[in-house]
C-alpha cells in the first residue's frame, strides 16, 4: 500500500520547474503595489527598499518573457513584499515625524505657560 | 513495479536538510527567530494580524520544503517572504503605537492651549484678588484634615474621568498657588455617589483624582508634590437618597499640606 503514495511523492519532486503556470496575476499585483508605493513620496532612508523592489520586478518581467515562470513568480513575490516593507517603513517614519512636531508644540506651550506665571 | 526501486529516491527526498547550504540554513534560522519574536508581541498581533499569519504560513512552508530534495531555492524563498512579512508587521505595529501616542498628545496639546488662553485672560490683579480670596476660603475650611478645596461633579464629563474646560480656571489657580508656595503639597482625593458597583466607583474616583493630578503636573507641579487617592462611595458628604445629595457626593477634594509640606493622614 505504500506504492501509490511513493509515486505521488516522486511525481511531485520531478514535476518541479517544468509545469509552473505563468504568474501573470502576481506580476499585476506587484506592479499595483509598486505604483502605490511610488506615489508615497518615499524619503531617502526608505528608498533603498523601493529600489530593490523595482530591480526585482524588472528581473521578474524579463524572466517572464523568457518563459522562466518559476523564477518570475519568486522575484515578483519578493518584490511585492520589498515594496510593502518600504511602504510600512515610510508610514512609520512619517508617524515619527508627526509625533516630534506635536512634542515640540507641547513644549512650546509649556514654556509660554511658565512665562505667564 | 518493484518498490525497492523507489527506496533510494525516497532516501534522497528525506535527506533534504543536508541539501541546504549553510546560507539557506542561516536564512531559515533567521526567519524562525524573527517569527518567534513577533508571535509573542501583543502590539504586533494587534496591529498586523494578517501579516503575522502570512509570516507563519510562509515559514511553515519553508520548513516543510526542507524535507524535499532539490528545494533549497524554495526554502530560501519562503524564508525570505516570512522574514519580510514579519518586518512589515513590526513596522505597522510601531506606526500604530505612534498614532496612539499622538492621539494622547493631541488631547494634552488642546488642554494646554485652553489653559494658556485662560491664563492670558486673567489679569495680574484678578489673580492676586483670587489668591487672597482662596487663601481666605482655604483657611475657612481648615479642619482636622488641613485646608481642603472641593471640585464639584460639574467639572467632569458625566460618568468619565475627563476634566471639562470649566475646570481650567480653578486648577490653574491651584497650580499658581502651589508655585507660590513651593513647600506645600497636595493630596487629591476622588469620591463618588453610591450608584453603580463599588469597584466601578472606586476606579472612577481614582481616575478623576488622577486627571486633576495630571493637569497640575502638565502645568509644571512636580509629581512628588501630588498624591492621588480614590475613595469611591466612602465618606459621602450628603445623603445619597436625593439627586442633589448624590451630586454633592460626586466630587474631588484637594487637601493642601501646611506650609512645611506636612499633609494630614490619609483617611
Domain boundaries of chain A, sorted by first residue: 21-116
3-state helix, strand, coil in chain B (%, to 5): 65, 10, 25
**Residue B214's CATH number:** 3.30.1330.60
**Inter-chain CB proximity B116 and A3 less than 8 Å:** no
Per the structure, how many domains does chain B have?
2
What is the fold, at CATH topology level, of the domain defined by A21-116?
Answer: Substrate Binding Domain Of Dnak; Chain:A; Domain 2 (1.20.1270)
Q: Mean pLDDT per 10-residue run, chain B (267 residues)?
A: 45 47 84 94 95 96 89 93 97 97 93 81 59 58 77 83 83 83 91 93 95 90 94 93 91 89 87
Which three cell numbers mark B14?
Answer: 528525506
Is residue B153 located within the same domain as residue B77? Answer: no
Same domain as B144, residue B246: yes
> Is the same domain home to B87 and B127?
no
Return the residue of B nearest to A112 by Cα.
Answer: B116
What is the span of the domain harbouring residue B162?
A: 122-256
Sheet strands side by side (includes B186-191): B147-152, B251-256, B186-191, B226-230
Residues of B in contact with A81 (CB under 8 A): 81, 84-85, 88
Question: What would the pLDDT profile of A76-114 be if each residue is shown by its tens digit?
Answer: 999 999 999 999 999 999 999 999 999 999 998 888 887
What residue in A sits closest to B55 (Cα-Cα)? Answer: A81
Q: How many CB atoms lie within 10 A of CB B201?
A: 23
Express each pLDDT in B147-203 by its tens digit. Answer: 888 888 878 888 888 888 888 878 888 888 888 788 889 999 999 999 999 999 999
Q: Do B48 and B132 share a domain, yes or no? A: no
**What is the value of ipTM here, to two decimals?**
0.81
Domain contains B214: yes
Same domain, B241 and B146: yes
Which among A106, A113, A114 is the nearest to B109, CB-wise? A106
Could you tell me if B90 and B156 lie in one domain? no
* pLDDT score at A64: 94
Task: Kindly list the residues from chain A whose CB atom is less than 8 angstroms away from the CB atom of residue B173.
Answer: none
Do B134 and B26 have their domain in common? no
Q: Assess whether B10 and B127 both reside in one domain.
A: no
Does B106 map to a domain? Answer: no
Amino acid at each position: 500500500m505504500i506504492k501509490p503514495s511513493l509515486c505521488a511523492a516522486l511525481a511531485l519532486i520531478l514535476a518541479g520547474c517544468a509545469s509552473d503556470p505563468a504568474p501573470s496575476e502576481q506580476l499585476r499585483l506587484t506592479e499595483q503595489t509598486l505604483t502605490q508605493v511610488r506615489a508615497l513620496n518615499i524619503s531617502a532612508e526608505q528608498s533603498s527598499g523601493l529600489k530593490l523592489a523595482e530591480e526585482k520586478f524588472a528581473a521578474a518581467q524579463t524572466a517572464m518573457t523568457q518563459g522562466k515562470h518559476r523564477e518570475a513568480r519568486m522575484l515578483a513575490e519578493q518584490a511585492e513584499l520589498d515594496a510593502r516593507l518600504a511602504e510600512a517603513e515610510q508610514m512609520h517614519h512619517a508617524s515619527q515625524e508627526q509625533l516630534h512636531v506635536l512634542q515640540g508644540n507641547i513644549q512650546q506651550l509649556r514654556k509660554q505657560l511658565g512665562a505667564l506665571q | 513495479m518493484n518498490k525497492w526501486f523507489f527506496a533510494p529516491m525516497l532516501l534522497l527526498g528525506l535527506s533534504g536538510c543536508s541539501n541546504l547550504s549553510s546560507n539557506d540554513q542561516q536564512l531559515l534560522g533567521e526567519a524562525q527567530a524573527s517569527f518567534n519574536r513577533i508571535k509573542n508581541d501583543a502590539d504586533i498581533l494587534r496591529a498586523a494580524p494578517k501579516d503575522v499569519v502570512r509570516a507563519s504560513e510562509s515559514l511553515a512552508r519553508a520548513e516543510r520544503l526542507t524535507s524535499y530534495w532539490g528545494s533549497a531555492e524554495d526554502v530560501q524563498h519562503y524564508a525570505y517572504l516570512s522574514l519580510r512579512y514579519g518586518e512589515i508587521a513590526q513596522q505597522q505595529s510601531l506606526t500604530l503605537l505612534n498614532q496612539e501616542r499622538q492621539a494622547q498628545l493631541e488631547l494634552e496639546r488642546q488642554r494646554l492651549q485652553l489653559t494658556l488662553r485662560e491664563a492670558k485672560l486673567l489679569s495680574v490683579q484678578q489673580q492676586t484678588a483670587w489668591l487672597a480670596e482662596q487663601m481666605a476660603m482655604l483657611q475657612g475650611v481648615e479642619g482636622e484634615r488641613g485646608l481642603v478645596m472641593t471640585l464639584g461633579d460639574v467639572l467632569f464629563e458625566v460618568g468619565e474621568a475627563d476634566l471639562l474646560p470649566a475646570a481650567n480656571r480653578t486648577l490653574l489657580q491651584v497650580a499658581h498657588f502651589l508655585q507660590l508656595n513651593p513647600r506645600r503639597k497636595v493630596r487629591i482625593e476622588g469620591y463618588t455617589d453610591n450608584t453603580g458597583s463599588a469597584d466601578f466607583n472606586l476606579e472612577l474616583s481614582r481616575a478623576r483624582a488622577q486627571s486633576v493630578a495630571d493637569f497640575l503636573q502638565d502645568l509644571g507641579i512636580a509629581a512628588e508634590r501630588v498624591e492621588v487617592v480614590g475613595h469611591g462611595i466612602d465618606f459621602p458628604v450628603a445623603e445619597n437618597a436625593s439627586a442633589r445629595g448624590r451630586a454633592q457626593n460626586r466630587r474631588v477634594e484637594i487637601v493642601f499640606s501646611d506650609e512645611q509640606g506636612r499633609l494630614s493622614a490619609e483617611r
